[in-house]
Amino acid sequence: MIRAGSFDEGSEVTDRTEIARALEALLFVADEPLPAGTLAQAVEVDRRVVDEVLDDLARAYEDRGAGLVVRRVAGGWQLATHPDTAPYVEQFVLSGRHARLTKASLETLAVVAYKQPVTRHQVAAIRGVNSDGVLRALVERGLLEEVGRDDGPGRPVLYGTTPEFLERLALPSLSALPSLAPLLTPQADEDQAAG
């Protein structure tokens, strides 16, 4: 990773640029504000360096009139849309509520529909990829909702389908979902019988 202590006198600007790039990427993928300490551990630099680099990055975004801002909020740092862009973002998000579903959305929706109630960890295990963003988008679109909490460690949220899901698929109830049996391969049948 990036080590602040390993800077050569002439390479500090490049290393700070690399630190800024790494921090920006981490903030982009995070779905909540990240404390400076967490960011410092991730890029292996001092917490003060993280704060300085992010302050510089925040100024750079503001100076160029970017549509994004880097801000301190709720005890951490966050990359967010600029408040002045709110009308455009809102219009786009609302117009996208009835747009076609992506392949990832359809896969996630199918997992939840057939396995509900299900945790996001279970969805990710079945799909083989992190599904947090897709689950969040499906909840925002009104196709999935939180239906309770699992009794396991951490009491994770359980997801299920909504009445709007049934309406959009023109189904009277979940029992009207097509059977998965014809779609299972002979190998999947053997694995299921062995397990």
Specify if 94 maps to a domain.
no
Inter-residue contact 144 to 160 (CB < 8 Å):
yes
Residue 48 confidence (pLDDT) above 80: yes
Of 30, 57, 85, which residue constitutes the final position of a domain? 85
Domain identity same for 42 and 67: yes
Residues 81 and 104 placed together within one structural domain of the fold: no
Segment 55-80 shows an average pLDDT of: 93
Among residues 85, 115, 150, which one ends one of the domains?
Answer: 85
pLDDT score, position 11: 39
Domain of residue 142 covers 100-194
Segments of 105-185 assigned E as strands? 118-119, 144-149, 157-161
In a domain, 165, yes or no: yes
pTM exceeding the 0.75 threshold for the entire prediction: no
How confident is the model at residue 168, as a pLDDT? 80
Q: Name beta bridge partners: 34.
A: 77
| C-beta pairs of 51-60 under 8 Å, 24+ apart in sequence | 53/16, 53/19, 53/20, 53/23, 54/20, 54/23, 56/16, 56/20, 57/20, 57/23, 57/24
64 falls within a domain: yes
CB burial of residue 81 (10 Å; 0-12, 13-18, 19+):
middle
188 lies in the same domain as 119:
yes
